[in-house]
Amino acid sequence: SRLQQLLNRFKFRRVLDSNPQTKVISLLGRIDGKDAIVTMEKMHFSYETNVFKKEEGRNTPVLHNCEAEFSCLKSIEEMREIASNDIYYWGTSVLKQDLAANPTAKINLIWPATPVHIRKFEAQSFHVIRETPAIYRAVVEPYVQEMCSGNRLKWVHNILYHGAESERVVYKDFAEQDVPEGFLVLPDMKWDGVNLDSLYLVAIAFRSDIRSLRDLRPEHKPWLVKMLNKIRTVIPGCYNYAIRPDELRIFVHYQPSYYHFHIHIVNVKHSGLGDGISAGKAILLEDIIEQLNFLGNEGFMGRTITYVLGENHDLWKRGMEAAVLEQLEKDGIPKLPKAVNDFS
């Protein structure tokens, strides 16, 4: 495969980040002289599966809940006991792997990676910041405009208009493809496509006038409600009803990485996603819809939004750092005492 060929030419430079809890490591390197980011994630276990089975005397198949072929214990191939003590036993094992049903790891490659990508993946410090409408207009909007130009949204346009990943689209809302209300749903790049416990889909709107949460106004409410309900109606069926509508965490990021309106759809069980679903980053679509009842005509454009921003994000140096210092002072939060470095 093309991915395999590219990875074969990968020349390692350094580790960008490594997280033993999420079992994710991100490496920076070069392929053919251009920057490349490889992210590897150890996959979770599978246990149960849902299948429809034909039963005697019925003409509609019945949904069966059963143990998956590669469920945790069934897949043990080799085993070594480390120790035991009283009623406690522990050891390590090698599990049977299968590329389709039980892969070992998920691998993402971004190539050629831009400096914005590299900074996003790199370990960094985060700050809670308050973005007022005035700061949005002065600092963020010009940045958003820059991010909308150039090639950064190419992958989105490829999906919407050029058939990229088309065989993976699980739902497409079409009256006509170019109807501004339309959207489609497909597996997110973050999902391994196998394990439903970590189900991660992304819904992408066809319209391009909504760059982020900030552009949402009360007139968009019916459209958002329609998408929310369509998603909850259709997605469980796409996955054999192994997931219920109320087990989908449906949210939007602020700040997003890509300024074309899209919605994250994730199994509620799944929380091992870095900061992707934490407070200060993910906002439930339900809450967005509800807030539009109260925000007045300009919608989110008139609201102060508090969120978490990493120091590597361009917005930090472009004005957010200064804004935070100003806000802390205005709120009367005491300045930190100057620390002397005493490590020796």
Kindly state whether residue 190 participates in binding ligand M7G, applying the rule CB under 6 A.
Answer: yes
> Residues 257, 271, 278, 306: which binds ligand M7G (CB under 6 A)?
257
Nearer to ligand M7G, 70 or 261 (CB): 261
Nearer to ligand M7G, 133 or 256 (CB): 256
- Cα–Cα distance between 314 and 328 in angstroms, integer? 21
Residues near 270 by Cβ (< 8 Å), separated by ≥ 6?
Answer: 197, 198, 199, 200, 249, 277
Nearer to ligand M7G, 211 or 220 (CB): 211
Amino acid (1-letter code) at residue 259: Y
The piece of 188-196, 214-222, 318-326, 329-337 that touches ligand M7G (CB under 6 A) is 188-196
Least distance from C-beta 228 to ligand M7G, angstroms?
A: 17
Count of residues interacting with ligand M7G (CB under 6 A) = 15
Kindly state whether residue 302 participates in binding ligand M7G, applying the rule CB under 6 A.
Answer: no
Least distance from C-beta 88 to ligand M7G, angstroms?
A: 40
**The three-state (H, E, C) secondary structure of the chain, written as one string:** CHHHHHHHCCEEEEEEEEECCCCEEEEEEEECCEEEEEEEEECCCCCEEEEEECCCCCCCCEEEEEECCCCCHHHEEEEEEEEEECCEEEEEEEECCECCCECCEEEEEECCCCHHHHHHHCCCCEEEEEECHHHHHHHHHHHHHHHHCCCCCHHHHHHHHCCCCHHHCCEEECCCCCCCCCEEEEECCCCCCCCHHHCEEEEEECCCCCCCHHHCCHHHHHHHHHHHHHHHHHHHHHCCCCCCHHHEEEEEECCCCCCCCEEEEEECCCCCCCCCCCCCCEEEHHHHHHHCCCCCCCHHHHCCEEEEEECCCHHHHHHHHHHHHHHHHHCCCCCCCCCCCCCC
Nearer to ligand M7G, 188 or 197 (CB): 188
The piece of 84-92, 170-178, 234-242, 258-266 that touches ligand M7G (CB under 6 A) is 258-266
Q: Which of 262, 264, 270, 313 is catalytic?
A: 262
> Residues 114, 155, 245, 318: which binds ligand M7G (CB under 6 A)?
155
> Residues 103, 258, 268, 321: which binds ligand M7G (CB under 6 A)?
258
Kindly state whether residue 143 participates in binding ligand M7G, applying the rule CB under 6 A.
Answer: no
Kindly state whether residue 256 participates in binding ligand M7G, applying the rule CB under 6 A.
Answer: yes
- What phi and psi values does residue 156 have, to the nearest 5 degrees? -70, -45
Nearer to ligand M7G, 55 or 165 (CB): 165
Kindly state whether residue 211 participates in binding ligand M7G, applying the rule CB under 6 A.
Answer: no
The piece of 98-106, 217-225, 249-257, 315-323 that touches ligand M7G (CB under 6 A) is 249-257
- Cα–Cα distance between 143 and 313 in angstroms, integer? 11
For the CA atoms of 70, 165, 255, 127, the dihedral, rounded to the nearest 10 degrees, stands at 40
Kindly state whether residue 47 participates in binding ligand M7G, applying the rule CB under 6 A.
Answer: no
Catalytic residue status for 157: no
> Residues 48, 55, 81, 165: which binds ligand M7G (CB under 6 A)?
165
> Residues 17, 188, 215, 321: which binds ligand M7G (CB under 6 A)?
188
Kindly state whether residue 253 participates in binding ligand M7G, applying the rule CB under 6 A.
Answer: yes
Distance of CA 74 to the CA centre of its chain: 31
> Residues 38, 140, 144, 186: which binds ligand M7G (CB under 6 A)?
186
The piece of 40-48, 136-144, 254-262, 320-328 that touches ligand M7G (CB under 6 A) is 254-262
Residues that bind ligand M7G (CB under 6 A): 155, 165, 186-190, 202, 253, 256-258, 262, 264, 276
Active site residues: 262
